[in-house]
Amino acid sequence: MPSPIRLLVCADTALTVELGDDIDRDVNAAVLALERRVLSARLPGVVETVPTYRSLTLHIDPAVADPGELGPAVLRLATGEPPLPPPCRGWRVPVVYGGAHGIDLDAVAGRHGMSPAEVVARHCASEYRVFMVGFLPGYAYLGGLDPRLALSRRPSPRPSTPAGTISIGGRQALVASVAAPSGWHLLGRTPVRSFMPGRDPVFLFEPGDAIRFEPIPASEWDDLDRAAAAGETVARPA
């Protein structure tokens, strides 16, 4: 039974359409489908859209549209004919696990009573889905983590973690694009730049993309990192 749709107004500049209150692949797929319908409907005054785990936010120019009055039109779209399934792009993302690149791998293994190799194998076995790109540019929040790896956040966040950090928190996985504080568990690091000004494309991952991680030896880091710094995507389309 799907939860009822909630319309949440953010003053005069946005309308958030909440399709559920959980982190769930079906809810997220419904969010992305609604985004496609909203974009193709070209509602006047809608400046841009932001899909998140379970909601779609429409940023609105209040000189053109009233977020309080857009609700019915959006609800009609949300309950209309199901759209075509969104195109799914796949990526293979190389990761150096453990050691200096993933300082929490051994601790995560210890907490789960697994070997570090088993944690890596389980982290690489899943096909993830990009549920949301948010917080910072290119930060890709992924659903699909093996439930046996789930682990609540660290009690105190680290003040800085490097760009490219591959981490897990709760039942989610993350590809970090820029250096930032983090309370998640750092399993590894990818040379892939999911956000790189000056490169075409600037952003690599779209909401809805599928991602698989591939372990690579630390000895390959320098070459791949250099290639990525020169503008190669390094992540391979799957």
Residue 50 CA to residue 26 CA, distance in Å, equals 17
27 vs 109, beta carbon nearer another protein: 27
Q: Does 214 bind another protein (CB under 8 A)?
A: no
Q: Which of 11, 113, 181, 217 binds another protein (CB under 8 A)?
A: 11
Q: Does 188 bind another protein (CB under 8 A)?
A: no
57 vs 186, beta carbon nearer another protein: 57
Q: Site for another protein (CB under 8 A): how many residues?
A: 47
What sign has the CA pseudo-torsion 217, 218, 220, 226?
positive
To another protein, the closest distance from the beta carbon of 225 in angstroms equals 18
Q: Which of 137, 237, 136 is nearest to 195 (CA)?
A: 137
To another protein, the closest distance from the beta carbon of 124 in angstroms equals 25
Q: Does 14 bind another protein (CB under 8 A)?
A: yes
Residue pointed to by tokens 């509602």:
43
Q: Does 19 bind another protein (CB under 8 A)?
A: no
Residue 99 CA to residue 27 CA, distance in Å, equals 36
21 vs 214, beta carbon nearer another protein: 21
Sorted by sequence, the CB contacts under 8 Å of residue 42 that are 6+ apart come out as: none
Q: Which of 11, 83, 4, 85 is nearest to 41 (CA)?
A: 83
75 vs 202, beta carbon nearer another protein: 202
| 132, two tokens | 């949301």
Q: Considering only residues 33-62, where is the footprint of another protein by CB under 8 A? A: 35, 47-55, 57, 59, 62
Residue pointed to by tokens 């549920």:
131
Q: Considering only residues 114-173, where is the footprint of another protein by CB under 8 A? A: 132-139, 141
Q: Does 229 bind another protein (CB under 8 A)?
A: no
Buried b (16+ CB within 10 A) or exposed e, 158-194: eeebebbbbbbbeebbbbbbbebebebbbbbbbbbbb
Residue 132 CA to residue 28 CA, distance in Å, equals 9
To another protein, the closest distance from the beta carbon of 175 in angstroms equals 11
Q: Does 26 bind another protein (CB under 8 A)?
A: no
Q: Considering only residues 67-96, where is the footprint of another protein by CB under 8 A? A: 67-68
Site residues for another protein per CB under 8 A: 8-14, 16, 18, 21-23, 35, 47-55, 57, 59, 62-63, 66-68, 132-139, 141, 177-178, 195, 197-198, 202-203, 206-207
